Amino acid sequence: MKKIILIYCLVLFSGSTFSQIRVDSLSYVLIPFYSIGLDEMSVKTSESILRMELEKLGIKNLISEQRTESIMGGVKCSNTECAVEVAEQLNADRVIFCKLNPLGEKIIVQYYLIDFKSKSNLLMEQTTANSLEDLENVMKRIAKSISSVKTFSESAEVGRITETETFESLRRSSKYNFGITFGYLFPQTGYDNDFDKTFVFNTHFDYELPEYAIGLMLGLRRGFAANIYANYLFSKTDICPYVGGSFGFHWVTHNDVIYNNNEKKSSDGFEIGFATGLRLFHTYDFQVVLNFEYIITFNDYNDKAIVFTIGIL
């Protein structure tokens, strides 16, 4: 039985390895951008940015610009049929074809990712650059879209949001956040040995960086708490898990007055917390936050609790 399981695992590993090798061995050709009405320098710069970003994202077998232009002999491709013919001459597995079309002050960007063998469009997308400067972000997003074979909207990440998306009703460029969360506190030790859950309500003043979020939390949680927190964000996409910690002060409400050596026990003290959770709709201007936290208050009651909250930033 063990031999059968071992053989099965080896087959799965070999298959996944072969698949990975196959993906890495795919060759790509980036057809020179086609544009009417846009200056040649802007077109070439945009093409150069896309080429560099594709290489950064791991597309290793990208046929050189010189070899591509040599095969084309000065002819410009204005459609996908021409692009596929160039791929055939270069023996490329996949073709990237892009058109830049001015429309007033905007630039309509259309791009295709074509599989040569099946002659099928893996991607056929359109987006808008609001200015020449915005083309840089657009090219970065197109590179992400092509490398992951995802639509333009699915490739949204913090730091790669275009001007057009920031003007949508749900602005995706916000870094300063304000929000509220609510839920329950579950005592573990202390808290007058009363282990019933307690409703909590928090307000957050939050500043978000690409990989971190720092902020101030003011909360009603069996008393009043004021904590500074920092979270490490694992993702730049719409589903963002995080871990973090907090430090602050907690004035804990206690019903039982306990004395030590004729002195009343102190119910308040410094507090540390360890948190993990999810930020949903992370690229938008509002985020749904699910937070799970373990808090320790350094007071005479040795209060410790688990806090689970949900809310909006």
Give 121's strand partners. Answer: 114
Domain final residue, candidates 166, 201, 236: 166
One domain for residues 144 and 75 = yes
3-state helix, strand, coil in the chain (%, to 5): 25, 40, 30
Collapsing DSSP states into helix, strand and coil, what is residue 234? coil
Comparing CA positions, the residue from 252, 246, 293 lying closest to residue 269 is 252
| Residue 152 DSSP label | T
Strand pairing report for 239-252 and 223-233: antiparallel
According to the model, what pLDDT value does residue 161 have? 67
Contact 65, 45 (CB under 8 A): no
Which position has the token pair 């930033």? 313
Does 6 reside within a domain?
no
Q: How far apart are CA 142 and CA 129, in angstroms?
A: 12
Comparing CA positions, the residue from 211, 204, 166 lying closest to residue 293 is 204
One domain for residues 202 and 134 = no
Q: Which residues contact 153 (CB under 8 A, 6 or more apart)?
A: none
Does 290 reside within a domain?
yes
- Classify residue 211 by burial, with Cβ atoms within 10 Å: 0-12, 13-18, 19+: middle
* CATH number of 300's domain: 2.40.160.20
Per-residue pLDDT of the chain (313 residues; tens, 9 = 90+): 545 444 444 444 444 444 343 445 789 999 999 998 888 998 999 999 999 999 998 888 898 889 988 888 888 888 989 999 998 899 989 999 999 999 888 999 999 999 988 888 899 999 988 888 888 889 999 999 998 888 888 877 766 667 666 665 555 555 788 999 999 999 999 888 888 999 999 999 988 887 889 999 999 998 999 999 999 999 888 899 999 999 999 999 887 666 665 567 788 899 999 999 999 988 887 889 999 999 999 988 889 999 999 999 8
Comparing CA positions, the residue from 226, 171, 169 lying closest to residue 156 is 171
One domain for residues 158 and 197 = no
Q: How far apart are CA 268 and CA 223, in angstroms?
A: 9
Give long-range contacts, CB 8 A cutoff, 24+ apart: 66-69: 68/29, 68/30, 68/31, 68/32, 69/32
Kindly calculate the radius of gyration of the chain based on its CA atoms and give it in whole angstroms.
28
One domain for residues 276 and 161 = no
State the first-to-last Cα distance of the chain, in angstroms, to the nearest integer: 53
Structural domains in the chain (count) = 2
Strand pairing report for 94-103 and 28-30: parallel
Comparing CA positions, the residue from 310, 312, 272 lying closest to residue 292 is 310
Residue 289 is which amino acid? V
Contact 49, 140 (CB under 8 A): yes
One domain for residues 81 and 155 = yes
Does 171 reside within a domain?
no
* CATH number of 122's domain: 3.40.50.10070
Element (H, E) at 65: helix 65-72
Parent domain of 202: 176-312
